[in-house]
Amino acid sequence: MKKILLSVITIALLFLSNVIFSQTPNGTANLGILTSFGAYTGAGGVANGTGASFTGDVGTNVGIISGFGASPSFTGNTYNANATTLQAKFDLFRFYIHLYDKFVDFPTTHAPAFGNGETLAPGVYSIPGAGSIAGVLTLNGGGNPNAFFIIKWGGALTAGAGATITLTGGTKSCNVFFMANGAISVAANANLKGTLFAKIGAVGIGADAILEGRMLSLEGAITTGAGAVVSPPLGTCTIPIFCESGCSPAPSVDVLGILSSYALFTSSGAVSNTSTSGINGKIGTNVGASSGYESSVIIGSFETANAATAQAKTDVDNAYTALMALPNTVTNHAAAFGTGEIINAGVYFVNGAGSLGGTITLDAQNNPNATFVFKFAGAFSVGAQSKIILANGARRCNVFWIGGAGVATGAVSIGAASDLKGTFLSHGGACTSGDGLFLSGRLLSTDGAATTYAGIVYNNPECVTSTPLGTPVIVAVADTTAPVNGSTGGNTAALTLNDKLGGAPVVIGTAPGNVVLTGVTVP
């Protein structure tokens, strides 16, 4: 049985060895104005516990900051509901997109519970629901100083009392991220290294807990317990990412016109949201209203019944007509797509309703103009936790999913927690999404509602370009040393080995560690 399993794995690796997932990185993950922050939330209070020690800036765009007194218990600045916190909100949203969109190396292969003596290899781990950390969890970089670990949970994350993160093999805390689609709760006396990042939910560490990292949330309170210690992550993040401000489609599908700047649009119907979403792109309706986005992160404008939406209505009709005019190249595919299949470029037509479930990989075979157009002559539904992967140069602006192709109406419905790429267009029906959609593209309708629910929808994975605040944070840890021999002299203890400047080890001379004094006369 083991030999059979090994053979299957070997064949799979050989098959996938020529597949390059996602787009080639062109930069590294960057927090921008948030670089100096130890805690930030887009909406929620930030509270520091009695006797807690906190190093780093602190901010909230909507909420109260409390418990951050003078040095030495607090080293940093506080920012509340100003231009800095608004920019931080946008930077955090973009940063979230960059991290979440990293290709998952270990999809649903790990149990929700981590730790208890285990050691992980570098990469991106994804857990569909809530999870936990207990005991000791070792993150081994394998000797690579740029090794990174991103562990994503589709629900809340809890770290038990005394839970410990150990970094070995060159791993640095600046390249470690624990991301939860829910609250993050760390119990007393835990000792963690890495950034705690909640999409929507509180982030809290218990009494006497230690965190070498940041506490971040798009929306949720941030708290530290009595006697807790929070300090900046060590080093500068080197996680490779792809970012750009635009995507030029292949000529055959360059059909969107003004709609290329929209994340959500309907010619006639409501555009509405539930809970807190993140939208990067315009939101518009030509006949109807927009609602429910008050707490959301919006990078773009709202357009309602104006010249822009009138043009958008014309453009969505023209886009549908142009896409329908493309000759169908694949007409024998089953109505159901996904379940792990890899497909090549083409115009796929299903003469009826269709669906997407599980994972589908769109392989461009290194052709930047490879196009993927899916037409369904009926409703099109996407199952919960479905995933679209772009491979070998496939690009989001060359991918279209059409419900109601050639018929009067065809609604598009997207299930919860789906991770999708491309433009989703309903002809004559609603275009709706469930809780937690992550979409690189847009939702469009020629006649029907367009809705989001705690989702992330963005046209482009924009780079973070804002400038960090002020000077780097200095973390100087008190040391106790033994007397140096009065007649022969000698070396001090490693006085600077545990000190940091801007998250990096302090260096006096050529390396962190001992400070050697010469030419000093000791009486």
> Which pLDDT value is given to residue 70?
78
Contact 370, 393 (CB under 8 A): yes
> What contacts 107, CB < 8 A, 6 or more positions away?
126, 359, 387
Residue 481: both structure tokens together: 């040393």
Angle (CA) 441 445 446, round 5°: 135
Nearest-angstrom CA–CA distance, 201 and 44: 9
> Which pLDDT value is given to residue 501?
54
- In 3D, which of 435, 441, 440 has the Cα closest to residue 453? 435
Looking at the DSSP assignment, which residues form a beta bridge with residue 180?
Answer: 153, 198
pLDDT band of 2, cuts 50, 70, 90? very low
> Which pLDDT value is given to residue 12?
40
> Which pLDDT value is given to residue 475?
53
Biggest CA–CA distance in the chain, Å, is: 96
428 — phi, psi (to 5°)? 75, 20
Return the higher-pLDDT residue of 142 and 477. 142
Q: Which DSSP state fits 328?
A: P
pLDDT band of 5, cuts 50, 70, 90? very low
Tell me what the mean pLDDT of segment 314-330 comes to.
99
Residue 111: both structure tokens together: 């149990």
> Which pLDDT value is given to residue 472?
55
Nearest-angstrom CA–CA distance, 333 and 331: 6
Count the residues in the chain: 523
Nearest-angstrom CA–CA distance, 184 and 220: 10
> Which pLDDT value is given to residue 470?
72
> Which pLDDT value is given to residue 72?
77
Tell me the percentage of the chain whose pLDDT exceeds 90.
Answer: 84
Tell me what the mean pLDDT of segment 489-499 comes to.
51
> Which pLDDT value is given to residue 8?
34
Tell me what the mean pLDDT of segment 305-321 comes to.
99
Return the higher-pLDDT residue of 513 and 410. 410
Tell me what the mean pLDDT of segment 141-159 comes to.
98
396 pLDDT exceeds 60?
yes
> Which pLDDT value is given to residue 17?
43
pLDDT in tens, 351-374: 999 999 999 999 999 999 999 999
pLDDT band of 436, cuts 50, 70, 90? very high
> What contacts 82, CB < 8 A, 6 or more positions away?
none
24 pLDDT exceeds 90?
no
Which residue type sits at 14?
L
> Which pLDDT value is given to residue 307?
98
Element (H, E) at 46: strand 46-47
Return the higher-pLDDT residue of 495 and 110. 110
CA atoms within 13 A on the CB side of 96: 32
> Which pLDDT value is given to residue 109?
86
Contact 162, 186 (CB under 8 A): no
> Which pLDDT value is given to residue 21?
63
> Which pLDDT value is given to residue 123?
98
Element (H, E) at 96: helix 83-100
**Torsion on CA atoms 322, 325, 327, 328, rounded to nearest 10:** 90
> Which pLDDT value is given to residue 478?
54
Mean pLDDT of the chain: 91
340 pLDDT exceeds 80?
yes
Instruction: Kindly provide the b/e burial profile for residues 430-450, where b requires at least 16 CB atoms within 10 angstroms of the residue's own CB.
Output: bbbbbbbbbbbbbbbbbbbbb
pLDDT band of 15, cuts 50, 70, 90? very low
Nearest-angstrom CA–CA distance, 203 and 224: 9
Tell me what the mean pLDDT of segment 451-455 comes to.
98
Q: Which residue has the tokens 């009067």?
A: 408
1 pLDDT exceeds 80?
no
